Structures are given as structure tokens and as C-alpha cells.
Chains A and B, each alone.
Chain A
Amino acid sequence: DAGVTQSPTHLIKTRGQQVTLRCSPISGHKSVSWYQQVLGQGPQFIFQYYEKEERGRGNFPDRFSARQFPNYSSELNVNALLLGDSALYLCASSHWDGAPHGYTFGSGTRLTVV
């Protein structure tokens, strides 16, 4: 079975641009969460979606938005990119909403803002 897949794996953007990151969860998983990991730090929670509804949001500005599609895949959008947005963006999927465990992470998208 395929794991959590994220695309693209790497990308470089210029300050002020917009970016869309994509995530496909494990088959049967209905919950998708997004995390940002800056070099040398632990992942930081951005969003959680379950059954296409936002279930949680971390302490990130409104430039960050996300959505989940009927097939449970998800997109993370970041507008007006800043240098500080450079990070590894991780997607995690799980079976159900609210479960504090059972997460499977993808390998992430490495975003560099120049």
C-alpha cells in the first residue's frame, strides 16, 4: 500500500509569491494534518482536516490556508511568501478525527524562499 505522498518534493519560490503543496493520505484515512518544520526544530502544527472540514488550526497567519477534497487529499496554500516560510512542510494522515495517535507522515515538501 502506498504511504502518504506529497508533491512536489522540493521547490524554490521568490518572496511575495504564492505556493500550493499537495498531499494524498493513506487509502482509508480521512484525516489530514499539516506541519511546518524549520531546520533544527520539531514540526509545528498548522492545520487538521477531517471529512473536508477544518478541525484545528495552529498559530499561523492568515497567509496560510488549506482544504481537503472529497477523496481526502489536501492542499496547503501559502500566500505572500516570506523568507521565514522556508521549511520542510509535512503532511500526516490518520484514520479518524481527534485521535492523538496513529499518524503517518509523508516525506515532506522542502520549500526554499529566496
Chain B
Amino acid sequence: GQSLEQPSEVTAVEGAIVQINCTYQTSGFYGLSWYQQHDGGAPTFLSYNGLDGLEETGRFSSFLSRSDSYGYLLLQELQMKDSASYFCAVSPGTALIFGKGTTLSVSS
């Protein structure tokens, strides 16, 4: 089966850099993606790191260690609007398997 572990909550201050970790266990692997979701709205793509390349958007970057089944999302120059839920997701095939999400709270 597949499972993903990520912290339930992370707090940080404006302007800081924050790292959200994700460890995964999957029977197949193509890549690790990261999505942001505000208040139950549409998840929006942040980063993908996998067998066919790397995609990153804006202030968001990611790291992947396939040998350790571990990755993280790095958010730089934090802003209040970055307060949201962040999900890591693995792709063992055509579907995305999501973690339970990390709630990021950014304070001034």
C-alpha cells in the first residue's frame, strides 16, 4: 500500500523560510508533488520532483531523496497569504496519493 507522513502543523513568521517534510511509502513511484489549499478551496500546484524532471513555482522549491523516500517543500520569504494547508502527494501511477496535510500559520 501507500502512506505519506507530514507534520500536522507548522508555524513561522513573515519573511522567514520554512521547510515542510514528507516521508512516503509506496509500491511504485514516479514523483512527489506539493499542493497548497486555502480553506477547502481548489488545491493549487506548487512543485513536482520526479523521474521525468523538476517543476517549481514562484517562491516554492522542493527536494527529493528517492533512496530515503523523503522530500520537503521549501517556502521562502513567507507572507501572511501563505497561511494555508500544504499537501505532499506521490504518484505510483496515474493517480495522486495525498498526505493528510500540514497547516502552516504565518504570523507578523
Contacts and interface: CB of A to CB of B under 8 A. Distances in A.
Given A90-B42, A105-B43, A108-B40, A45 B97 contact: yes
A103 B45 contact: yes
Given A100-B31, A108-B42, A33 B95 contact: yes
Nearest to B92: A100
Contacts of B33: 100-101, 103
The contact size tier of chain B is 20 to 34
B94 interface: yes
Contacts, number: 75
Interface string B64-107: 00000000000000000000000101010111111111000000
Contact of A41 (B44, B89, B100): B100
B31 A106 contact: no
B94 A55 contact: yes
Contacts of B30: 100
B96 A45 contact: yes
A9 B95 CA distance: 24
A98 B35 CA distance: 19
Contacts of A58: 95
A40 B94 CA distance: 24
Given A100-B94, A106-B42, A108-B40, 14 more contacts: A4-B42, A33-B94, A33-B95, A41-B101, A42-B99, A42-B101, A48-B94, A56-B94, A88-B40, A90-B42, A98-B93, A100-B33, A100-B93, A103-B96
Interface of B: 30-31, 33, 35, 40-45, 48, 50, 52, 55, 87, 89, 91, 93-101
